[in-house]
């Protein structure tokens, strides 16, 4: 089959023929229709410090996808050939302290498809049946193929108290833009979205942001719209140090900061003034809660209250992978997807 492979410990990918995956008894084989391209794939393509420390080539890249089941292992009873599915890409052991206390999203033994084992930028992928998520008939392959990053946004927003809240979203990459729409659908009373990139701010506005602003304009807007208190909730979705300080500064006393964005190196905080004496709660987001986030996501999509399709701005065949990497790096894209089969 055709697959996009990280062949060597150096920049680049190669599109080539690889053997079809063999399914174990507890796995299913999926024909991939759509696959989302993520910043992580760009890091692996560039072979930056994170990628070279974490990944062991050769492997098939990609972790966001939807498709059709074409084969099931002998022990699989919950998935049938022909099912339309996506999957949780974090494969956990199911047996450790965290997994057995309902916290699989932070399982220390997590293996991520397209990072630690073969991924989905290929015609076929094998997945444990327990990771499969069935797609409602009403949910397209396009939307199925972006459940992973949408799930990050659902996890971040819905573990805060959003109904009625004033919310600041710092960083309008695909995940921040999804989060804006989710906050609106979940009943936030005022959503301010910030970014340095006007194209991305436009998408945030399309998803329902009440105000779209550059970082330098945010403090004044927050003061004005919250009678000087600060916002109830900040969703930090940039990972940029100045935005992280801004998040801590503009959340109200006793408020909540949801940290999704990943800084590329350690940053310095004044814990006493930025966190402790403000009495705030900081929540670190890892992936998606299994499977609370997935149920919430399906229900919001089914209700029609949240529609992520405007965020998908570019689509390519696998052959166009260099263009896909380029358009993501340019900052001109919302969500970029591959149309595979
Ligand atoms: P992205 O890099 O496309 O989005 C980040 C956005 O922040 C960009 O649009 C950028 O222009 C904007 N930005 C830059 N400086 C800013 C500033 N000062 N104020 C406000 N915005 C600013 O990424 P994405 O795919 O949407 O992911 C968002 C972040 O979440 C990334 O840091 C990514 O690594 C991280 N992430 C975390 C998890 C997790 O499980 N915690 C999962 C996926 C991604
Ligand atoms: Zn575990």
Amino acid 62: pLDDT: 98
Nearest bound ligand to CA 100?
2
Domain covering 2-146+308-339: architecture: Alpha-Beta Complex (3.90)
43 labelled catalytic = yes
Contacts of 29 (CB under 8 A, 6+ apart): 20, 21, 23, 69, 70, 71, 72, 124, 125, 126
Residue 121's nearest CA partner among 333, 340, 327, 334 is: 340
Distance CA 94, CA 173 (A): 32
Residue 4's nearest CA partner among 284, 323, 250, 312 is: 323
b/e burial code for range 160-175 (CB count within 10 A of at least 16 → b): bebeebbbbbbbbbbb
Place of tokens 């015609």: 123
The enclosing H or E element of 14 equals strand 14-17
Distance CA 319, CA 335 (A): 18
How many other CB atoms are found less than 10 A from the CB of residue 276?
A: 10
User: Residues with beta carbon < 5 A to ion ligand 2?
Assistant: 92-93, 96, 99, 107
Across the chain, mean pLDDT equals 98
Q: Is 173 in the pocket of ligand 1 (CB under 6 A)?
A: yes
- CATH number listed for the domain at residues 152-284: 3.40.50.720
Q: Where are the domains of the chain?
A: 2-146+308-339, 152-284
Amino acid 106: pLDDT: 98
Closest atom of ligand 1 to 172 CA is 9
Distance (angstroms) between ligand 1 centre and the Cα of 73 equals 38
Q: Is 287 in the pocket of ligand 1 (CB under 6 A)?
A: yes
User: Whole-prediction pTM value?
Assistant: 0.98
Amino acid 181: pLDDT: 98
Q: Is 151 in the pocket of ligand 1 (CB under 6 A)?
A: no
Instruction: Give the mean pLDDT of 247-267.
Output: 97
Tens of pLDDT, residue by residue over 156-184, are 999 999 999 999 999 999 999 999 999 99
Tens of pLDDT, residue by residue over 39-86, are 999 999 999 999 999 999 999 999 999 999 999 999 999 999 999 999
Tens of pLDDT, residue by residue over 19-31, are 999 999 999 999 9
Q: State the ipTM, two decimals.
A: 0.99
Q: Which two tokens stand for residue 272?
A: 């006493």
Protein residue closest via CA to atom 18 of ligand 1: 243
Distance (angstroms) between ligand 1 centre and the Cα of 239 equals 6
Nearest bound ligand to CA 168?
1
Q: Which two tokens stand for residue 230?
A: 């600060």
Q: Is 12 in the pocket of ligand 1 (CB under 6 A)?
A: no
Ligand 1 site-directed mutation target among 175, 207, 334, most atoms within 8 Å of CB: 175
Q: Is 242 in the pocket of ligand 1 (CB under 6 A)?
A: yes
Q: Taking a C-beta distance cutoff of 8 angstroms, is the pair 194, 247 a contact?
A: no
Closest atom of ligand 1 to 177 CA is 26
């Amino acid at each position: 089959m055709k697959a996009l492979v990280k062949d060597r410990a150096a920049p680049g990918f190669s599109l080539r023929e690889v053997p079809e995956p063999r399914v174990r008894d507890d796995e299913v084989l999926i024909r991939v229709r759509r696959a989302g391209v993520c910043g992580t794939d760009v890091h692996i393509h560039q072979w930056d410090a994170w990628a070279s420390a974490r990944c062991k080539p050769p492997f098939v890249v990609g972790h966001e996808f939807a498709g059709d089941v074409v084969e099931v292992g002998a022990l699989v009873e919950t998935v049938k050939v022909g099912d339309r599915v996506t999957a949780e890409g974090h494969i956990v052991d199911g047996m450790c302290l965290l997994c057995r206390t309902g916290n699989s999203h932070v399982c220390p033994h997590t293996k991520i498809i397209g990072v630690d084992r073969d991924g989905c930028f290929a015609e076929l992928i094998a997945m444990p049946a327990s990771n499969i998520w069935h797609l409602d008939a009403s949910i397209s392959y396009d939307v199925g193929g972006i459940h992973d990053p949408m799930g990050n946004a659902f996890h971040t927003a819905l573990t805060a108290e959003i109904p009625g809240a004033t919310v600041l979203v710092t960083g309008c990459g695909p995940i921040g833009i999804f989060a804006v729409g989710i906050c609106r659908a979940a009943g936030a009373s005022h959503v301010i979205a910030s970014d340095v990139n006007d194209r991305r701010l436009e998408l945030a506005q399309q998803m329902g942001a009440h105000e779209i602003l550059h970082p330098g304009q945010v403090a004044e807007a927050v003061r004005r719209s919250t009678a000087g208190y600060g916002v109830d909730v900040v969703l930090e979705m940039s990972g940029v140090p100045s935005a992280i300080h801004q998040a801590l500064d503009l959340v109200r006393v006793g408020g909540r900061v949801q940290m999704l964005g990943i800084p590329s190196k350690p940053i310095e905080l004044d814990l006493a003034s930025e966190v402790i004496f403000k009495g705030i709660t900081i929540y670190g987001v890892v992936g998606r809660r299994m499977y609370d986030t997935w149920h919430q996501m399906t229900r919001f999509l089914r209700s029609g209250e949240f529609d992520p399709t405007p965020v998908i701005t570019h689509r390519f065949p696998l052959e166009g992978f260099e263009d896909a990497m380029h358009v993501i790096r340019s900052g001109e894209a919302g969500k970029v997807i591959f149309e595979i089969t």
